[in-house]
Structure 1
């Protein structure tokens, strides 16, 4: 994929998550590795108006290599995740309604459904709170993502990473779905039956042979 194709795909994913209602008030951001750095969506520009040339090319130290707009205010956690996770080729961050609501309880998502395994492990953790756009938040996100492909950010939203943009998008959408189901169970005054570790390992192994999602 050349640079323009990658830019178009980033914009397409950003517009898709926006149309799904995952990015209220211009929140959220999307990036993908490019060369020795990354391409990331700009700050404050509505996704419906975003064009491929509006993306910013950053080095992994945060230096702007090209682009006339400001990068997303969350660029620190993008660069820190890419530095910590060689497997991550794309990152999608949203403020999707139900996952964000759950994050405000500072509660993760346990293995109440086998689809949790799509997120890379036996649960989706909720990372500790820190102010948006800070190194502290970046460090918390990296820690929460250890051994995982998705994490809730306390009182904030969701991060998903993938080997492709499509994979990261699939995971962030599934986190929203799972968070909604989990909230529905809790709202009914019930507690879900949690699948045990060996079962989640079996499911994870089946997913590994099922395709390249994520």
Structure 2
């Protein structure tokens, strides 16, 4: 459900959050989109309990999900606004404890305006096994996602993890974090979400194919076709 400003129990907090520079509608729309995606991730079993975080960059400010709240039940009034250093500007709660990852990614990727960190079941299985996601198993994975490495384990919520993830995403759309979860980026929130959904679908498909006898990869000549026709760059 999307509440109007009149019937949302948190409408006062939301309105205070949204208004900046006389453009409250833009900020309200941003907060609503953030909540919509956070709830979508929860409904698709890509986050549970207090896990996961989502952010959108708007100019020199970042709208991010709060710490300590189940994302399946948050409202626009829970959303927090920070600057790129993580200094809180508006909002009633605290920004996500994994906010450092978002800020470091944004610093290194001016083309990125949205970030999703989630814990999809099959993707987390890959992260627990310290396995990368190959880019040569499904055409849509090749074109929209690319190669997804599994980064070494680093303590969550630390600047060390933030820097490692930012470096890993310098030229990629997604990474796995060992024993942790997945991160996708995009020019907007829908693109970041679609990449997360495709990442999970790819992991699930690889697991099922392995059970059925093994994964057959797209032939190298076809991969070269994708590179030539879709402007892709492959590692190695």
TM-score w.r.t. length of structure 2: 0.81
Counterpart position of 1:188? 212
Counterpart position of 1:209? none
Q: Which has the higher relative contact order, 1 or 2, with Cα contacts under 8 A spaced 6 or more apart?
A: 1
After TM superposition, list the pairs within 5 Å mapping 1:1-214 onto structure 2.
2-110=26-134, 111-121=136-146, 123-196=147-220, 197-202=223-228, 204-205=230-231
Counterpart position of 1:211? none
- Per the TM alignment, residue 190 of structure 1 is displaced from its structure 2 partner at its CA by 1.8
Distance 1:92 1:29 in 2: 6
In the alignment, structure 1 segments of 5+ residues that lack a partner are 207-214
- Per the TM alignment, residue 31 of structure 1 is displaced from its structure 2 partner at its CA by 0.4
Q: How many residues in Structure 1 have an aligned counterpart in Structure 2?
A: 205
Distance 1:153 1:103 in 2: 6
Distance 2:108 2:226 in 1: 25
Distance 1:78 1:4 in 2: 21
- Per the TM alignment, residue 169 of structure 1 is displaced from its structure 2 partner at its CA by 0.6
Distance 2:155 2:219 in 1: 34
Does the CA contact (< 8 Å) of 2:114 and 2:192 recur in 1? yes
Distance 2:133 2:219 in 1: 12
Distance 1:24 1:48 in 2: 8
List 4+ stretches of structure 1 deviating above 4 A. none
CA RMSD for the aligned pairs? 1.8
TM-score w.r.t. length of structure 1: 0.89
